[in-house]
């Protein structure tokens, strides 16, 4: 990973966000297709970085391409994400290419999202993680806590 570069997520990365969304949805086996991601509004909004609403994120890559992506998106109450807390708290998504998992890349991007949250003086971050997903351990180790009353949704938050 010595050639690893981390750069800001850009609107031109929407295809990467779509691929990451599909893999995140299928973390426990094939359940959805790219058509589902592109056609279903509850999935599609994770594939579109909207800078004017304040969305931000990061891409980790090497000479071979994208290895991981982390996004923080502000969704409106009338089009919430699975990890929606409120309109002022961005919901994060994190994906690491399967052959790079367990090497600290997810933690690196998560910590950088947390740093950017502090720089922007946002109150925190939210996310949703399904029961049984191994990523839940990462989030808990970085200070994310289950939201009481929203356990079925897998809602976790981190406060700055």
Pull the structure tokens for residue 142.
């970085």
Q: What is the pLDDT of residues 121-137, one digit of tens each?
A: 999 999 999 999 999 99
pTM, two decimal places: 0.94
Pairing of strands 124-128, 155-159: antiparallel
d(C-alpha 11, C-alpha 51), whole Å:
8
The CATH number covering residue 45 comes to: 3.40.630.30
Number of structural domains in the chain: 1
* Full residue range of the structural domain in which residue 140 is found: 5-159
End-to-end CA distance of the chain: 30
d(CA 96, CA 149): 29
Nearest-angstrom CA–CA distance, 130 and 25: 10
Q: pLDDT tens-digit profile of 1-41? A: 568 999 999 999 999 999 999 999 999 999 999 999 999 99
């Amino acid at each position: 990973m010595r050639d690893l570069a981390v750069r800001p997520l850009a609107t031109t990365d929407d295809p990467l966000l779509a691929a990451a969304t599909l893999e995140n949805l299928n973390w426990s086996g094939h359940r959805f297709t790219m058509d589902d991601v592109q056609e279903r509004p509850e999935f599609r909004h994770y594939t579109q970085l909207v800078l004017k609403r304040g969305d931000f994120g990061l891409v980790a890559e090497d000479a071979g391409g994208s290895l991981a992506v982390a996004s923080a998106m502000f969704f409106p109450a009338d089009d919430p994400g699975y990890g929606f807390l409120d309109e002022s708290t961005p919901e994060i998504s994190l994906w690491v290419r399967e052959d790079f998992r367990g090497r600290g890349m997810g933690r690196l991007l998560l910590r950088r999202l947390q740093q950017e949250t502090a720089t922007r003086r946002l109150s925190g971050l939210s996310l949703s993680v399904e029961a049984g997903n191994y990523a839940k351990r990462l989030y808990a180790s970085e200070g994310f806590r289950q939201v009481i009353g929203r356990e079925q949704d897998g809602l976790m938050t981190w406060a700055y």
